[in-house]
Structure 1
């Protein structure tokens, strides 16, 4: 279990904060609730949070959305195309921070990845990892689990920037809703 999720607690990182609501909302500004777009840390789910009156959040803040903290009134799942431009611009930085702050969780992906089918392995979902590099990773992990991204890069010849490879895959899964296999992005219930 990730350190960003315990029991039924779900945290998210704010991607954009709209204190005067959505621009497309025709109601007068005093009637529009504040909105925030966020990314859940455990499942990389994109959400829109309707905020309570007086909520004060900034981009990069962490907020508890399950159970909802005092600043969150309601939470709705959204798709990448529903995000504001500012949310999209912030997304890569937030994903990178989540991966860096939970290094062991993501190193364990390399340690625990399994075959999806006879012809496809979870490691092959990562950009730049073909059959040869996948086999190198599998051979090295037989000798012992990887403890860090640095060790992974040292032990697996040809694997450069393993953290960046994961960030790139997570972003691909967030952008493309039609991907057949997703290793990281899961919609919360």
Structure 2
């Protein structure tokens, strides 16, 4: 289940990060060049979904650019064409994915600090924290001890008290959940 999200409340993305820009469409598209449209592959900032975007005529984008895709007036994006799975991404998009996930995590600091302050065990032998890459039993106990003393206020507070970078493990866990079906979902749930 997504940390800090209500299952019954449907949320829509307002922003997405560019993973790849294919000026002449997909390479395997055999239509003549004049019939092809530019395609943008993007990553949603809150729901962590991957999507294909159609840009307005004459607009271009840069890798990792943050685009407004919400319900209001959009500067560059005409519409969201379709949702994508990890396997549909281009090699460039796959390379860019972890970087934009980190940006999304930083933007949603409050959401992830809430998770770190409140997450619990999944089973009698495994804690949610242990699903984060690089967080073993020693680090897990340090996090639990520190949050019992005082809840974490932000990423900087967490890193100073636990002496561990937490943005990278969270981003890597989100990437793992996106890449393949996971037994436990901390942040992403496919519909």
TM-score, L = length of structure 2: 0.81
TM-score, L = length of structure 1: 0.81
Residue 121 of structure 1 is matched in structure 2 by 127
Maintained 8 Å contact 2:174/2:187:
yes
- Match 2:141 to one of 131, 135, 143: 135
Residue 168 of structure 1 is matched in structure 2 by 172
1:57 aligns with 2:61: yes
What RMSD in Å do the two structures reach over aligned CA positions? Answer: 2.6
Alignment deviations for residues 44-82 of structure 1 (CA, whole Å, 9 cap, x no partner) = 211112334333322222223343836233332212221
> Offset at 1:172?
1.9
- Structure 1's unaligned 5+ residue stretches are none
Secondary structure (helix, strand or coil) at the match of 2:69 reads: strand
- Structure 2's unaligned 5+ residue stretches are 6-10
> Offset at 1:149?
2.3
Residue 183 of structure 1 is matched in structure 2 by 186
Maintained 8 Å contact 2:40/2:52:
yes
Alignment deviations for residues 127-177 of structure 1 (CA, whole Å, 9 cap, x no partner) = 122334323212221222111223223323xx52222221222222222x1
Aligned residues: 182
- The CA distance in 2 between the partners of 1:57 and 1:16, in whole Å, is 9
> Offset at 1:91?
1.5
